[in-house]
Chain A
Amino acid sequence: MASIAQPQVMAQPITKPATGLWSWLTTVDHKRIGIMYGVTAFLFLLLGGVEALIIRTQLARPNLDVVSAARYNELFTMHGTTMIFLALMPMSVAFFNYVMPLQIGARDVAFPRLNAYSYWIFLGGGIILNLSWFFHAAPNAGWYGYAPLTSTSWNPGRNVDFWLIGLQVLGVASMLAAFNMIVTVINMRAPGMTMMRMPIFSWTTLIVSILLVMAFPAITAALILLAFDRYAGTGFYEYAAGGDPLLWQHLFWVFGHPEVYILVLPAFGIVSEIIPVFSRKPLFGYSVMVYATCAIAFLGFGVWAHHMFTVGMGPTANAVFAGSTMLIAIPTGVKIFNWLGTMVKGSLRFTTAMLFAVGLVSQFVIGGLSGVMHASPPVDSQQNDTYFIIAHFHYVLFGGTVFGLMAGTYFWFPKITGRLLDERLGKWNFWMAFVGFNATFFPMHFVGLAGMPRRYFTYSEDSGWGPWNLFITIGAFVLATSFLVFIINVVKTLRNGEVASDDPWDAATIEWATSSPPPVYNFASIPEITHRDQLWWDKYGDHGAGSGVERKAPAPKEQVDPSSIHLPNPSYFPLVSAFGFFILALGMLIDNPVLTIGLLHLPILVPIGGLIMVVAIYAWAFEPAG
């Protein structure tokens, strides 16, 4: 046989998903990175959940001694830090990563290797924070680390160092991811997708990423000053040295309050996708929803001092921040009403995803209303630092964020895995979560009003807080069980779940136009966008009204030779560089030989890690990108 017409074996690009551990370690595919973010974040969520259960066990009765006071303080510090930085934020980033590029018709994010780098750095930061347990130095100053309890005079161990270095590392990961998302949304939308045709979740991705970029520098600066105080003996937060502990509070909350919106807006975005699909109606007031999201993000930077109503800022500051805080309730309320407006006169189908989405609408209202209560500084002076606040923000972050993320998981799971999560187990999952959640957090309003402060490792019999605390603890275990049901559902589905079609929910956005799961290159040919809710337009034409509208057969998928699609090469340099960063950070925390150069005392792991990090970035810069 003549040797003509034998196709050359292509070294690249990669068109079929590679398998094996190595392919995951070197992947730059936004979908795989999204999955890795999601799985890692879920594991951290379980860890944070276990910490919460230990806390609840300790508080089940007055004067219990399940854990020591010091251990208890570590547990609540790590519970908060883990849930915020290692569970909820990265879980949102998982959705940003997986869904947003598909929604806007992109083949990947703008900087695929940077994306991998973000993930590996995040993983390193999470490991550093939790390594602290093994060094008997778990962070113990609260997730908000108020000075001067974080100073070496009042907290001489390594506990706070693990916290501050861990957070700095995580901050780098967040910033890189946020820049990546912003550039992707701005530059990589499919032809015809104007900003106001963009799916609302991708809008949320953009706004949350901007929030991240603007809020994180504040905590980064705050932590750098703290690092100087602790490592170099400066006194930025030490009154006796001319500093001021309130400086920390301002810097921290300038980050900390936008952070609340960083946590909750992605869930809002998810729900804004799900409710229209299962109502078969477009999102009510799309543009107002976009503006409301922008308004919340903007106002979110002007309310930080409502965390500080009891520090004695004076009447004017308290009044101003009370006003700005109340103002933010308006765009939030608009969102609630617009979701409701979407459902009214719709054709509602209650899948598990929809149940969680409506659950968010219903439960977030409670968190919003209790928030309005302590937006009033006098009321806050009674509620601040009590269980009333814990109830409030768990209605926001669990009833809001977690319900939204669960809704998103049930919604996009078939797209991600090609299999539909079991609906029967899903409903068990939702109702157990709903009941357990309310049983856990609603009575916290009562114990809060009864004056139980936060961060108490124990309480006396005569306080009268005992019975409700027992009830709360039981609720917490019910809530935990709902996650067990979720895990069973995932395992069962991955083994032999119902195979999903490309578009199992009759959805509106273009990620449902490609196969489930999508090919490495996402779309064989990039779709042309002519309308908002493009896929509905494709299926139903002019958004047909009334019943019995014919669904058009999907246009035949174009046959494109996948090998002609340009995709980035896998790379192990992000992993290597992140590992270097991890070693560098670890060098600041664990005992290792110290290099003394003049005035500089450098633990040896710091330059070693730094060198690995820099060399890997250098090598990555000269690596062919594919």
Chain B
Amino acid sequence: MQRSSDRWVRRTSARLVLLVAALFAVGGAILPGVVSAQSPYSTISPVTDQANDINDIYKLTFWLSLIVFVGVQIGIVYTVLSYRRRAEGERPEQIHGNKTLEIIWTIIPAIILLIIFIPTVRTIYAHDDQVNNPDLVVEVYGKQWWWEVHYPSEDGESKIVTANEIHVPQGKRVVFHLYTNNVIHSFWVPQLSGKMDLIPGHENKLAIDTDTPGYFFGQCAEYCGDSHALMRFKVIVEPEEQFLAWQDAWLAGPQQASGDLAGGDIAAVPQSMALCMTCHEINGVESVAGGNAVPDLPEELDAARTFGPNLSLLGCRTTLAAGTLRNTPENLASWLHDPEGIKPGNYMGTVITPGSLTDEQIQEIVTYLESLQPEEGCGEIPVQPGVTEQVQVQDPD
């Protein structure tokens, strides 16, 4: 009786252990892939060589971990089920240890770690080397809480300065040079590569090979103050001709696509923009009549943080306020009405509060800014196959 019930316990234990192991293995293998690859920020859906290299090591560590995990859990569950106390007086053999076993379970993990370490080191050095051979350099400056993007040029004159939407040509090695003059940020487009921090006084570089066209979502990954969560951006990988066209359009300066404004001239900036132009720039616009007289600019708005995003070609951007809002006239109007309410802590909100601008002024500014587009239109943004047209925004209420 005793023996058969023992056997029953053991057989049931073995089955249970197998079941648990199978559940863990299947669940562990499938779940992360299924649930995590859906996001536009997925770290396991690489589209560049760099992100692929990283994902390969991740997959290696993942499978090794899964094996160890299932092994250990089987060990625990089996032990727990098999060695329950059956009688109160029972006292098992007093084993103090086993040298051979202990050496084995020191060496096996060491071997597993070596298997991970070798490709790790190889990838570290390979990626580090890549930053020295760029086809195109793009400088990115982290701000609170948006991204300023510079395309350096030989003459310095034709330098492009834009924000939050980074156009790059397809099939090139693009190297981002990362800077900040305020707090630390981290530049991260998960599908393109791992993250790299922006640190005051340091120049960091990150290389990507842009093989797949499309737009890819980025975000700040290092806590940088109030609106850290609203510091999104986009990398737009487009065929080279289209990239060059965008570049030319930018350098030509924005044109007004609509003739709604008096005179139809880019330079005819409405008077209501005077306050805007103390912090923002628009290519081809020197100043606004009566401008540059900022009422009570808060003292902490020093040079390091004063300048807001360059607004040239704003009509072509897909989002406003670093990916916080979709770029529609209504959203632009609510942004101008209450920047603080939409993006807590942002510096525009210290100058413009609800009531600072009248509804008429807001309408005038919206009409002007939305009309800042190239003559031939904005050009289509290529969408990566399989990724639905979605913009990372929240509604303003």
Contacts and interface: CB of A to CB of B under 8 A. Distances in A.
B40 A462 contact: yes
Contacts of B57: 376, 378-379
Interface stretch (A541-549, A556-564, A576-584): A541-549
A70 B54 contact: no
A547 B226 CA distance: 65
A540 B93 CA distance: 12
A231 interface: no
A549 B196 CA distance: 63
Interface string B169-204: 000000000000011101010100111110111101
Interface in B211-254: 219-230
Nearest to A371: B65
B95 interface: yes
Contacts of A343: 79-80, 83
A314 B106 CA distance: 31
Contacts of A73: 223, 225-226, 228
Given A348-B85, A382-B43, A322 B117 contact: yes
A330 B62 contact: no
B196 A330 contact: no
A365 interface: yes
B151 interface: no
A12 interface: no
A346 B90 CA distance: 10
A446 B31 contact: yes
B361 interface: no
A373 B105 contact: no
A334 B98 CA distance: 12
A378 B80 contact: no
A115 to B, nearest CB: 35
B307 interface: no
A281 B54 contact: no
A149 B186 CA distance: 14
B2 interface: no
A312 interface: yes
Contacts of A333: 105-106, 109
Given A310-B186, A310-B195, A330-B110, A239 B200 contact: yes
Given A369-B65, A373-B62, A281 B90 contact: no
Interface centre among B42, B80, B300, B392 (most CB of A within 10 A): B80
B125 A358 contact: no
A243 to B, nearest CB: 8
Contacts of B270: none
A141 to B, nearest CB: 8
Contacts of B222: 146, 385
A384 interface: yes
Interface in A480-512: none
Interface in A280-318: 280-282, 284-288, 310-312, 314-315, 318
B32 A449 contact: yes
A373 B200 contact: no
Contact of B91 (A347, A361, A369, A385): A347
Given A340-B79, A463-B39, A384 B117 contact: no
Interface in A129-150: 141-142, 146, 148-149
A179 B226 CA distance: 40
Interface stretch (A16-24, A61-69, A211-219): A61-69
A153 B225 CA distance: 12
B83 A347 contact: yes
B196 A312 contact: yes
Given A312-B202, A458-B394, A384 B124 contact: no
B201 A281 contact: no
B127 A378 contact: yes
Interface in B306-339: none
A148 B184 contact: yes
Given A154-B182, A460-B393, A384 B221 contact: yes
B379 interface: no
Interface size class on chain B is: 35 or more
A381 B80 CA distance: 38
Given A154-B182, A245-B184, A311 B390 contact: no
B94 interface: yes
Interface in B26-70: 31-32, 35-44, 51, 53-55, 57-58, 61-62, 65, 68-69
A288 B102 contact: yes
Nearest to B196: A310
A428 interface: no
Given A329-B109, A547-B87, A463 B40 contact: yes
B225 A373 contact: no
Contacts of B37: 450
Contacts of A68: 344
Interface in A7-56: none
A621 to B, nearest CB: 46
B69 A365 contact: yes
A385 to B, nearest CB: 5
A366 B69 contact: yes
Contacts of B58: 373, 379, 382
A451 B39 contact: yes
A616 to B, nearest CB: 40
B202 A246 contact: yes
A289 to B, nearest CB: 9
Contacts of A452: 39, 41
Contacts of B9: none
A60 to B, nearest CB: 15
A341 interface: yes
A452 B92 CA distance: 50
Interface string B375-397: 00000000000000011111100
Contact of A315 (B110, B116, B124, B193): B124
Given A383-B43, A449-B42, A457-B229, A345 B194 contact: no
Interface in A206-250: 238-240, 244-246
Contact of A468 (B35, B121, B230): B35
Contacts of B97: 284-288, 338, 341
Interface string B75-91: 11001100111110111
9 contacts: A146-B184, A149-B224, A282-B94, A286-B96, A348-B79, A377-B120, A384-B195, A463-B392, A544-B94
6 smallest beta-carbon distances between A and B, as pairs: A381-B194, A451-B41, A239-B201, A449-B36, A456-B229, A69-B344
Interface of A: 62-63, 68-70, 73, 141-142, 146, 148-149, 153-154, 156, 238-240, 244-246, 279-282, 284-288, 310-312, 314-315, 318-319, 322-323, 326-327, 329-330, 333-334, 336-338, 340-341, 343-350, 358, 361-362, 365-366, 369-370, 372-373, 375-386, 445-465, 468, 540, 543-549
